[in-house]
Structure 1
Amino acid sequence: MTDEAVLKKSKNRGPLQEKFIVLSKFLRRSRMLKVVILVVLLNLILAAIYANIEGIDYHLALYWATDTLTNTGSGLVPPTLKVSWIGTTIFMWLGLGITLVFVEFVYVKMVKNMRGNKVIKFKDHTILIGWNPKIRHFLKNLQGTLGVDHNYVLVADIADRPFDLPQVVEFLRGNPDEERILLRAGMKDAQQAIVATEDDADAVLIAMTIQSININVRICVNLLSEENIKHLKRIGIEQIVCDENLTGNALVDAFYKNQEDYFL
């Protein structure tokens, strides 16, 4: 689908439809959330079956299901029928596997995120490097609903996730100068990268590092000084936005506009 088709499609969506799309993408992204939902649903279903077989209240059956699947084994709601004893034994073994999966995808992931070892698993996504008014303006003015038609990852060396960063944008804390941080952001599978730092030397270094990881990624770099454009052109980067040129051109346009208004 072309960019124009995607844009047209996004404009035809209603606010409620867009919210459902964003929610569905969030559910598909989060493996940890999938595991939690699966475990909860399994508990509810097994509780309903056990309550029907044993003829007990649902809240007691729900306690039995949780007790069995987590391998706690308190035995406060024991089976009374032969089929229930057999089923309980089977679900205990099933619960052992569920517990291992739960630990792997929930607790381990939580610990990794707290330690700063988060890894992005996107494909064909856009990586934004640096957090400043330029990136903030970029996110604010994207066409369509952010995150519905594309995946975005922000990489910035800041203490916490920005309070005004849209929730559909993944945030990865770290120094983008480091190759390992860019790899964790999924640079090998990224479609494009936008570099907007406060220092031109950092921007050039990051652009070179990105190319060393993924030569096919489309790179757009924001520079402060026109003098540094040549360094990017030498490594084959053509998408360059220079603040010095933009400001200078805007001043020239304003100057001539004032002259036209004066002589009219």
Structure 2
Amino acid sequence: MPESLIGRLALGLALSAAIAGAGVWRRALTWSGAAGALVSGTIVFGLGGLAWAVPMVALFVSGSALSALGRERKRALGEVAAKGARRDLMQVLANGGAATALALAAGSAGLATSLFPAYLGVLAAVTADTWSTEIGGLSRRPPRLVTTLAVVPPGTAGGVTPLGLLAATAGGLWIGAVGWLSLLLEGGPAAIGLGAALALGALAGLAGSLVDSVLGATVQEVRWCPACQAATEAAVHRCGAPSLPHRGWPGLTNDAVNFLASLIGIPVGLSVAMLA
């Protein structure tokens, strides 16, 4: 293993450990989530370099910051979700698994430049979903199911609001801008220009958010609490009563849907880079 790669992996491990530790301290990550972030961050920085690491840090920092907004008004989302605000290992893999796999592919095959747009597209899709959830949860308008436009309770899988869609687009633009800036910081050849990076981020972000919503409204597993007469993603509702199957595919959790939705960023990112 080249010494330069060993050095980048060691530096990536140190930086990832600091970020994961801060995540646990800020109660944004569980210990299992911190372990996942440590491995993912080390691989991305070690094999992708600074240009790949900065957008992932931007995803984590922005998501953690936005989660603190309007905690009281987001309680309705927590009543439906199976998990709390602290991200565990499965949530980290759902959000960063595809990006980490691209970093592994880029590092092993020497394709960091050609795969960077796909990587940026994945992170834009994930960031858009995070921003749409955190900001869209503050909407004063009730969400509507993306497939039928019927009004649904806050936190319902597949529910969208205009504010949430706007936030998704903004999150994608944020990652596009940070990705382009990270290329300048690294000082290497630009894989994509600023205009293309912004277009990539916006398109991948909006596409990822919509795919996530469509999957949430159609195939994501949703359960029903007979005691509270309420939908939930948890096998045991917060009231302590076991929930019953309601709709969707058994086992297709919100984490699985998030991962599948992130994959749309790959073709969007590559397509925008080819057309730019």
Shared fold by TM > 0.5?
no
Q: Which structure's CA Rg is the greater one?
A: 1
Q: Which is strand-richer, 1 or 2?
A: 1
TM-score normalised per structure 2: 0.21
TM-score normalised per structure 1: 0.22
| Larger RCO, structure (CA 8 Å, separation 6 or more) | 2
